[in-house]
Structure formats: C-alpha cells, structure tokens
Amino acid sequence: MSQQEPTPRENPPEEDEMAGESEERLDERTTLAAQVELLQEENQRLRQAFAHARRTEYQRAAIGLAILGAIAVAGAVVFPTVRTVLLALGATGLFAAVMSYYLTPERFVSAAIGEYVYATSVADRESLTAELGLQDTQVYAPTAAAGEESARLFVPEKREYSLPPASELDSLFVITDDAQQRGVALEPIGAALFREGRRAVSGELAAEPSTLCDQLGDATVEVFELADGVTTDVDSDDGRASLGVSGSAYGDVDRVDHPIASVFATGLAVTLETPVTVETTDETDRAEFLVTCRWEPNAETE
C-alpha cells in the first residue's frame, strides 16, 4: 500500500495580503528615503549656488570700482588741470574695490532662520511669564551695565506696579520687600541692535524723540532689514511715539520683546533716561502693526 504524499500548504489569503502590504510599505519608505536624500542634496546645492551668486555680485562690483578707479588715475595723467580731483576719485575707487573684494560676506542667514531662533526665544519668555503669573506689561528701564548705557525689560507681577531701583534690575528675578516692585528683568533683544544702530547712524543719535525715532526707523529698515517700512508719529508733549510697521521680517510684532518694538523702546529709554512702556495692536488702517511707546512727557526736559 503506497503512502500518500502530503500536499503543499497554501498560505491563507490574509497572510498573502499582509505580506503584500508590508512590501508596499517597505517600497514607500525606500522611495521616501531616496527623495529626502535628493532634496537634501538639492538644498545644499541651492545654498552653495546662492552663496556663490552673492560673492560673484560683490566681486563684480569690486571689478567695476577698480576699472573706474584705474580710468580716473589714467585721466589724471592725461588731464593735468583736474589731476587732483581725478587722483582722489581714482584712489577712492581702488580702495572701495579692494574692500568690496576682500570683505565679501561668506555666510548669509535667511530671515526664516532668524525667525525660528526668535520664535524659540520668545516661547521661552512667554512660558516664563505664564508660569510666574506675570502681567502683559512691558517696561523698558534705562540702566548702566558695565559702564555702558543700556536698558532692561521689566515684566511686573502686579497689575498695579512700581518700577524697582536700577540696581535690582540686574537680576533675572526681581524680589524686593515691596510686592509692587516684584517681577522679572530681562535683557531686551533690542539692546544689542540699538548699540549697533548707534555705530551705523552717521553722526550722533538725536536727543529729541521725533528725530531719534526717524533715525531708528531708518536703521530698522535699511541697516537691520527688520521690516519693509516703518512710519513714525511722535508727540513729545504727550510722551508718545506711534510706529506703523509693515512687512516684518520676524512675524507678528505683537509678541513679547519683538526686535522692532524692542529697539525703539530701548533707544527711547536710554536716550531720554526714563522708563518706556510698549503696547502693540494689529490690523490698523495705518499699517500691519501699530507699536505705541509711552514715557513721562517731562522726562526729556528734566
């Protein structure tokens, strides 16, 4: 009697279906990984191309200045009557060419990267104020740090508050015997920008609020490129400066210690030597955001 051979076991349809799905998911993951790698390579290539384009732009400007300088120097030889002027122009052009060529920036940080960094910083500050139950009030108080005029951002604990002495503002947590003076004191984002703005502005910063705000507005747009436009409306008698901000490079201006509001408030506080409060509203007829800085109107005349 012959023994019957066992028939091969067939996989259930469910197992075949699961195996097929697993293979499909594996293929998808492999495809996605390849696409991510390609995107990373393309991103790196675009970054290098952008940096190269910027360097090329500066180098072309340097070559153009060098050519103009050389022409001016050659003209000084041909036209002796205007030799002094042409030599001055030639020397200026050649010097500017050398500076443009060798001081070409090698690293460019996009506004999006700066926005991410600022968003992280402001999230920490908002969490700190929320955890401590602090008010939304922002007071920029003038101080003297390491012998240099500066300011600190004081956020009070009480709605009805009084500003603590400048010596108490050196600490992060301001804890005094007077409960109305308690809160936190932070380094304003605009402090470093204001110091840089001082060096960028031709001449001295004005002591008069209206002119000072115009100078800070120009620095905000032209030097720091924090916004596409800033308009100012200053009433010194009322102790108020209203700033219309359009095209902010760092998102909504109504966030805590926004760079634009911070640089104006810090500049006013340091220059007028008086505390400055800041309020920001959005969706105005005048601009995308309206920043209002207030101070005691008699402070600038004392």
Residue 238 sits in the same domain as residue 179:
yes
pTM of the model: 0.63
For 60-75, b/e burial (b = at least 16 CB within 10 A) is: eebeebbebbeebbeb
Residue 186: per-residue pLDDT = 92
For the cut 90, the answer to whether the pLDDT of residue 277 exceeds it is yes
> 286 near 229, Cβ under 8 Å?
no
Q: Domain count of the chain? A: 2
The tens digit of pLDDT for each residue in 93-131 reads: 777 777 766 665 555 556 677 777 778 888 888 888 888
Kindly report the three-state secondary structure assignment for every residue of the chain.
Answer: CCCCCCCCCCCCHHHHHHHHHHHHHHHHHHHHHHHHHHHHHHHHHHHHHHHHHHHHHHHHHHHHHHHHHHHHHHHHHHCHHHHHHHHHHHHHHHHHHHHHHHCCCCCCCCHHHHHHHHHHHHHHHHHHHHHCCCCCCCEEEEEEECCEEEEEEEEECCCCCCCCCHHHHHCCEECCCCHHHCEEEECCHHHHHHHHHHHHCCCCCCCCHHHHHHHHHHHHHHHCCCCCEEEEEEECCCCEEEEEEECCCCCCCCCCCCHHHHHHHHHHHHHHCCCEEEEEEECCCCCCEEEEEECCCCHHHC
Structure-token pair, residue 240: 């108020």
**Which of the four pLDDT bands, split at 50, 70 and 90, describes residue 22?**
low
If asked whether residues 119 and 203 sit together in one domain, one would say yes
pLDDT tens-digit series, residues 219-248: 899 888 899 999 999 999 999 999 999 999
The total number of residues written for the chain in this structure: 302
Give me the sign of the Cα torsion angle 95, 97, 102, 106: positive
| Domain match, 176 and 84 both | no
Task: Say if 284 falls within a structural domain.
Answer: yes
> Do 123 and 234 sit in the same domain of this protein?
yes
Same domain, 296 and 197: yes
pLDDT digits (tens, 9 = 90+) for 150-166: 899 999 999 999 999 98
Percent of the chain scoring above 90 in pLDDT = 38
pLDDT at 244: 94
Bigger pLDDT: 16 vs 248: 248
For 134, the domain range is 109-302
From 52, 87, 102, the end of a domain falls on: 102
3-state helix/strand/coil string of 41-95 = HHHHHHHHHHHHHHHHHHHHHHHHHHHHHHHHHHHHHHCHHHHHHHHHHHHHHHH
pLDDT of 60-85, one tens digit each?
777 877 888 888 888 888 888 877 87
pLDDT at 76: 81
**Does residue 196 share a domain with residue 62?**
no
pLDDT band at 301 (very low <50, low <70, confident <90, very high): very low
* Percent of the chain whose predicted confidence (pLDDT) is above 70: 79
Of the CA atoms within 13 Å of residue 73, those in its CB half-sphere come to 12
Question: Closest Cα to residue 66, out of 48, 41, 89, 45?
Answer: 89
CB neighbours of 146 closer than 8 A, spacing ≥ 6? Answer: none
When comparing pLDDT for 159 and 50, which is higher? 159
Can you give the pLDDT at residue 124? 84
At 37 the pLDDT is 77
Within a domain: 258: yes
Q: Could you tell me which residues are beta bridge partners of residue 281?
A: 290
Verify that 48 and 154 share a domain, yes or no.
no
CA distance 222 to 213: 14
> Do 79 and 151 lie in a common domain?
no
Last residue in a domain, options 63, 80, 102: 102
> What pLDDT was estimated at residue 62?
75
Q: In terms of domains, do 141 and 184 share one?
A: yes
Inter-CA distances, 135 with 56, 125, 143, 172, 240, Å = 50, 12, 22, 16, 21
Task: Select from 74, 102, 130 the last residue of a domain.
Answer: 102
What CATH number does residue 224 fall under?
3.30.1380
Residue 3 has pLDDT above 60, yes or no: no
Same structural domain for residues 57 and 190? no
Distance in angstroms (rounded) separating the CA atoms of residues 159 and 139: 12
Rounded to 10 deg, the angle between the 189-200 and 209-218 helix axes is 90
Residues 200, 52: one domain? no
Where does the pLDDT of residue 263 fall: very low under 50, low under 70, confident under 90, or very high at 90 and above?
very high
